[in-house]
A and B are shown apart, each in its own frame.
Chain A
Amino acid sequence: MSRGGARILLGRLAPLLGLVILCIVLSLTSAHFLTADNLVNVLRQSSVNALLALGQLVVIITAGIDLSIGSILGLSSVALAMQLRAGVPPLVAVAGTLVLGALVGLVNGLLLTRLKLPHPFISTLGTMNVARGAAMILAAGVPISGLPEGFRVPFNGDFFGVPAAVIVVGVAALAVHLLMERTVYGRDLFAIGGNREAARLAGVPVSSRLELAYLVSGLMAAVASLVLAARMNSGFPLAGTGAELDAIAAVIIGGASFFGGVGTVAGTLIGALFIGLLRNGLNLLDVSAYWQMIVIGVVIVAAVFIDVLRARQGD
Chain B
Amino acid sequence: MQPLLEATGITKAFAGQLALSNVSVSFAAGEGHAVAGENGAGKSTLMSVVAGILKADAGEVRLDGVALPPGDVVEAQRRGIGLVPQEPQGAPTLTVAENISLGETPSGLSLLRVIDRKRLNDIATAALELAGVHVPVDASFGSLRLADRQLVLIARALHRGSRVLILDEPTSSLSTREVERLYEVVARMKASGRAVIAISHRLEELRAMAERITVLRDGKLVLSAAMAEVTNAEVIRAMAGRDVTSAGAPRKASSEDVVLDVSNLASSRVKDVSFQVHRGEIVGLAGLLGAGRSRTLHAIFGSEKRSHGTVRLNAGGGARDIRSVRDALASGMGLVPEDRRGQGLVLGQSVQTNVNLVLPKGGERFGFLSRPTLLKTALDAIRELGIKASGVAAKVATLSGGNQQKVVLARFLRPETRVLLLDEPTRGVDVGAKEEIHRHLEGMAARGLGLVMASSEIPELLRLCHRILVFREGRIVGEMSRAEATAEGIVALAAGVAA
Question: How close is A267's CB to chain B, nearest CB, in angstroms?
Answer: 15
- For A202, what are the chain B residues with a Cβ–Cβ distance below 8 Å? 329, 357-358, 411
User: Which residues from 318 to 372 on chain B have a C-beta closer than 8 Å to any C-beta of chain A?
Assistant: 325-326, 328-329, 335, 337, 342-349, 353, 357-359, 363-364, 367-369
Q: How far is the CA of A205 from the CA of B347 in the complex (A)?
A: 19
The residue of chain B having its C-beta at the shortest distance from the C-beta of A205 within the complex is B326
Question: Which of A52-60, A119-127, A145-153, A179-187 is the contact stretch?
Answer: A179-187
B397 at the interface (CB under 8 A from A): yes
Residues of B within 8 A of A203 (CB): 325-326, 328-329, 358
Most central of A190, A191, A197, A198 by chain B CB within 10 Å:
A198
Q: How far is the CB of B423 from chain A (nearest CB, A)?
A: 10
Which residues from chain B contact A191 at a C-beta distance below 8 Å?
346, 349, 353, 357
Inter-chain CB contacts under 8 Å: number: 70
Could you tell me if B353 and A201 are in contact, using CB atoms closer than 8 angstroms? no
Cβ-defined contact, B367 with A185, below 8 A: yes
Cβ-based interface call for B105 (8 A):
no
Interface presence of B172 (CB below 8 A): no
Asked if residues B349 and A190 are in contact (CB atoms below 8 Å), the reply is yes
* Contacting pair B358 A182 (CB below 8 A): no
Distance in angstroms from A9 CB to nearest chain B CB is 13
User: A191 to B397, alpha carbons, bound, how many Å?
Assistant: 14
Asked if A194 and B349 sit within 8 Å, CB to CB, the answer is: yes
Interface of A is mostly: helix
By the criterion CB–CB under 8 Å, are B349 and A200 in contact?
Answer: no
Size of chain A's interface in residues, with CB distance under 8 A?
Answer: 22
- Which of B346, B367, B395 meets A190, CB within 8 Å? B346
Chain A residues with CB under 8 Å of B353's CB are 187, 190-191
* Alpha-carbon distance A182/B326, docked complex (angstroms): 22
Is A118 an interface residue when CB atoms closer than 8 A count as contact?
no
Residue of B nearest to A315 (CB): B397
Residues on A with beta carbons closer than 8 Å to the beta carbon of B343: 195, 197-198, 201
CB-CB contacts below 8 Å: B417-441 with A: none
- Asked if B232 CB lies within 8 Å of chain A CBs, one says no
- Mark out the residues of chain A between 196 and 255 whose CB falls within 8 Å of any chain B CB in the assembled complex: 197-205
Residues on B with beta carbons closer than 8 Å to the beta carbon of A198: 337, 342-346, 357
B395 to chain A, nearest CB (A): 8
**Contact assessment for B357 and A261 in the assembled complex, using a CB-CB cutoff below 8 Å:** no
Interface residue A16 (Cβ < 8 Å from any Cβ of B): no
With A184-B364, A187-B369, A201-B303 as given contacts, are A261 and B326 in contact (CB-CB < 8 Å)?
no
**Residues from 351 to 408 in B contacting A, C-beta threshold 8 Å:** 353, 357-359, 363-364, 367-369, 395, 397
Find chain B residues with CB under 8 A from A261 CB.
Answer: 346, 348-349
Contact A182 B344 (CB under 8 A): no
Contact B335 A182 (CB under 8 A): no
One digit per residue, 1 when the CB lies within 8 angstroms of any chain A CB and 0 when it does not, for chain B 292-329 equals 00000000010100000000000000000000011011
* Residues of chain A with a CB closer than 8 A to B301's CB: 201
Q: Which residues of A contact B368 (CB under 8 A)?
A: 182-184
**Complex Cα gap A200–B357 (Å):** 10
What are the nearest 8 A-B pairs in CB distance? A194-B346, A202-B357, A203-B329, A195-B346, A197-B343, A202-B358, A183-B367, A184-B364
12 A-B interface contacts by CB (under 8 A)? A184-B363, A184-B367, A187-B369, A191-B357, A194-B349, A197-B342, A198-B346, A199-B346, A201-B335, A201-B337, A202-B358, A203-B329
Known A184-B367, A198-B357, A200-B325; further 4 A-B contacts with Cβ < 8 A: A199-B357, A201-B303, A204-B357, A262-B348
Interface residues of A (CB under 8 A from B): 182-185, 187, 190-191, 194-195, 197-205, 261-262, 314-315
